[in-house]
């Protein structure tokens, strides 16, 4: 017996919109700069790296690379609404705190899943940016979906969320909103369709904030924009 029923889709799919923050590690330029000596060499190396990546998915209009990048990969690890090795998805949170909480969880997972990092402290830089989402959607925080809240927010069992994502995409749902499992009550979003993502206002680049992260197996701290958040594990 499942925690939810497919009949819940009836009447609950509608066009919705939301602004969401997403965080990405900002190490790629520093990493390639270690290998070059001039701006021309840097540009050539970046071009070669771009050519080695999977092709960008087709979209109705050109998209900022921070909106389109997740969709070009099929990650080997599972995420909340995506099975391993299936098409990438774009995740975000309604505010910076929720976005930091989600990234903090994965930084901690990276350490505890890596035997050589068990006693290490990792210092990384991250860019957080805001995007606008609009399209056919369901809201797992509203009725009837909220009746299965325990399944949507489970800490490690993604079977229900994977199943609802598959069923939603079969019904041409472009994105859905849900409660964060890492920061309870905070609203998050996952986009299945890159055409549901847009730059907010005049420019996505104007929303970018730079944050520093200190992560160990015991805690993860984010500091930036005059704020600090800490999660203890």
User: Within 13 Å of residue 134, how many CA atoms lie on the same side as its CB?
Assistant: 5
Tell me whether residue 44 is in a domain. Answer: no
Q: Does 170 reside within a domain?
A: yes
38, part of any domain? no
Does residue 139 sit within a domain? Answer: yes
Domain that holds residue 115: 6-26+56-232
Residue 87 lies in a domain: yes
Chain segment 105-122, per-residue pLDDT in tens:
999 999 999 988 989 999
Q: Within a domain: residue 39?
A: no
pLDDT band for position 134 (cuts 50, 70, 90):
very high
Query: What is the tally of structural domains in the chain?
Result: 1
Distances (CA, A) of 49 to 36, 42, 68: 13, 11, 17
Q: Is 50 part of a structural domain of the chain?
A: no
The whole-number pLDDT of residue 1 equals: 63
Residue 43 falls within a domain, yes or no?
no
**For the whole model, what pTM was predicted?**
0.89
**What are the tens digits of pLDDT across the range 47-83?**
555 555 778 888 999 999 999 999 999 999 999 999 9
Highest mean pLDDT among 23-32, 116-125, 158-167: 158-167
């Amino acid at each position: 017996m499942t925690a939810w029923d497919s009949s819940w889709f009836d009447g609950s799919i509608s066009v919705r919109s939301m602004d969401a923050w997403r965080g990405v590690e900002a190490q790629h330029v520093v990493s390639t700069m270690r290998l070059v000596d001039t701006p021309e060499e840097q540009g050539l190396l970046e071009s070669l790296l771009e050519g080695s990546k999977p092709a960008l998915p087709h979209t109705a209009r050109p998209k900022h690379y921070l909106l389109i990048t997740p969709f070009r990969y099929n990650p080997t690890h599972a995420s909340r609404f995506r099975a391993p090795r299936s098409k990438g998805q774009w995740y975000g949170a309604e505010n910076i705190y929720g976005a930091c909480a989600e990234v903090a969880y994965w930084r901690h997972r990276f350490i505890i899943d890596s035997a050589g990092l068990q006693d290490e402290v990792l210092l990384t830089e991250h860019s957080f940016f805001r995007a606008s989402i609009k399209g056919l959607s369901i809201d797992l925080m509203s009725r009837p979906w909220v009746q299965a809240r325990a399944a949507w927010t489970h800490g490690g069992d993604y079977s229900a969320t994977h199943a609802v994502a598959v069923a939603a995409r079969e019904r041409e749902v472009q994105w859905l909103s849900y409660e964060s499992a890492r920061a309870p009550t905070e609203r998050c979003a996952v986009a299945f369709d890159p055409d549901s993502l847009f730059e907010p206002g005049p420019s996505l680049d104007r929303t970018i904030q730079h944050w520093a992260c200190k992560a160990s197996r015991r805690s993860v701290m984010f500091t930036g924009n005059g704020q600090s958040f800490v999660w203890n594990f």
